Amino acid sequence: MSGFEHESIMTEEEKKELTEILANQDISSATNTIKEYLKQKERVELNIGVTGESGSGKSKFVNAFRGLGDEDEDSAKTGPVETTMEPKVYPHPKYTNVKVWDLPGIGTPNFKADEYLQLVEFERYDFFIIVASDRFREYHTKLAKEIIRTGKQFYFIRSKIDVAIDGEKDKENFDQKKILDTIRENCVNGLNEIDGVDDPVVFLISSRDLSKYDFNRMHERIEKELPQHKRHVLIMTLPNITLEINEKKKEALKKGILKVALLSACVAAVPVAGLSIAVDLSIITFEIRKYLYAFGLDEKSLKNLCEQSGQTMETLENLITSVWYKGLLTGSLLPKLRDTTLLMSEDAVERVFSIVPIIGSLVAGGLSFLTVKFMLNKALNDIAEDARKVLMAAFKNLE
């Protein structure tokens, strides 16, 4: 590596910090934090990975893109044999937050796109520019597919257009537009065959003369899409962060389950008819309410979230599929809990049934230690999953 300390969209520390902040916030202030974070991130740097086969003109393009000639100070080395062997970063002189990375060439017979992307540390780039100086080939497909698989985007550049035009100039029926159309079509057709590429973007470029062909169009497009790229990248990382937070919350809440289940077992030992089951049900209801609050699945939090994200209450509530939220809201959770079919429908409880004489204990006393534990665990998992879906829907609206 060049020794350059790169900053990707989110460093591990930043991610950790954001996770901590979000973990300690309720659902709506978490959304606010994300919004702020998005705003901040729009101002930070963007890393573009320029890739393509060896000799296709990547380095020359990196220079041209930055408005530099090949001989200028700070320009990337180019030439017939000057192979770029490792990723090297070149900041854009005008847009200092834009960093262009000159990557090693692809296209050896056994080219493995996944290994290549690992090698160049693909996470670092916000998007890729694939440079091709000849016709569209299999390794372009492989690379494009792999880039899509990693969740990144790319632009496709057909370079050395001046050479292609020059090569045809002597022909009698020379028609520049026709040649350009054919080249474009070849690239677009190749890209169209790849799943996940709906509207391929191909730019025809001569790094020798940027004023010709598609260079300006490409520049405008990338410039226009810069903030979206940042946002997109961040939004892509949110599901993971949210999952992490949910796991943390779950772990914290899980610690209480054992205590509650033990408490319930102790009550069951008190020989007062009906006491145990009543206590169990109120304990369980209390705990479930606590979980819903912790994950922001209560009416107040959800209303706030609607205001923040512009989602409707109906949309969010429809995403909450487990019985716990609606049960508490309508007061129908208690009857549901009493209804043993709710318990019996679960495989795990069925397995427990075979070991513990639960029916007997339900009639005579409270629920068993294992059942309380199981129910609370299930409620916790369901609620965490519902919360994840709700948050994702709210985040999606921010994009």
Ligand X SMILES: Nc1nc2c(ncn2[C@@H]2O[C@H](COP(=O)(O)OP(=O)(O)OP(=O)(O)O)[C@@H](O)[C@H]2O)c(=O)[nH]1
- CA-based torsion, 205, 211, 215, 217: positive or negative: negative
CB under 5 to 8 A by kind: which of ligand X, Mg ion, none does 80 bind?
A: ligand X
Q: Which stretch in 205-213, 229-237, 342-350, 390-398 sits in contact with ligand X by CB under 6 A?
A: 205-213
Window contacting ligand X (CB under 6 A); options: 51-59, 169-177, 212-220, 361-369: 51-59
Closest CA relative to residue 367, chosen from 376, 377, 358: 358
Stretch that binds ligand X, among 56-64, 216-224, 274-282, 382-390 (CB under 6 A): 56-64
Which span sits near Mg ion by CB under 5 A: 77-85, 218-226, 233-241, 277-285? 77-85
Angle among Cα 93, 153, 56 to the nearest 5 degrees reads 65
Can residue 84 be called a binding residue for Mg ion (CB under 5 A)? yes
Amino acid at position 358, single letter: I
CA pair distance 201, 154, nearest whole angstrom: 8
Quickly list H helices, 269-368.
275-294, 299-309, 313-319, 323-330, 333-338, 340-344, 347-355, 358-364
75 phi, psi to nearest 5 deg: -90, 155
Residue 193 near which of Mg ion, ligand X, none (CB within 5-8 Å, type-dependent): none
Selected binder of ligand X within 59, 276, 301, 371 (CB under 6 A): 59
CB of residue 147 vs ligand X: minimum separation in angstroms?
A: 17
Integer Cα distance of 15 and 117 in angstroms? 22
57 near ligand X (CB under 6 A): yes
Report d(CA 13, CA 131) in Å as an integer: 33
CA torsion, ordered 312, 313, 319, 321, to nearest 10 deg: -160
Total of residues contacting ligand X (CB under 6 A): 21
DSSP code, position 134? S
Chosen residue from 28, 31, 51, 159 binding ligand X by CB under 6 A = 159
Task: Check if the beta carbon of residue 108 is closer than 8 Å to that of residue 74.
Answer: no
Residue type, 263: L
Answer yes or no whether residue 88 interacts with ligand X by CB under 6 A.
no
**Residues binding Mg ion: number (CB under 5 A):** 2
* Residues numbered 50-69 forming contacts with Mg ion, rule: CB under 5 A: 59
Q: Which is nearer to ligand X, 159 or 371 (CB)?
A: 159
State the residues that interact with ligand X by CB under 6 A.
Answer: 54-60, 78-80, 82-84, 105, 159-160, 162-163, 206-208
State the residues that interact with Mg ion by CB under 5 A.
Answer: 59, 84
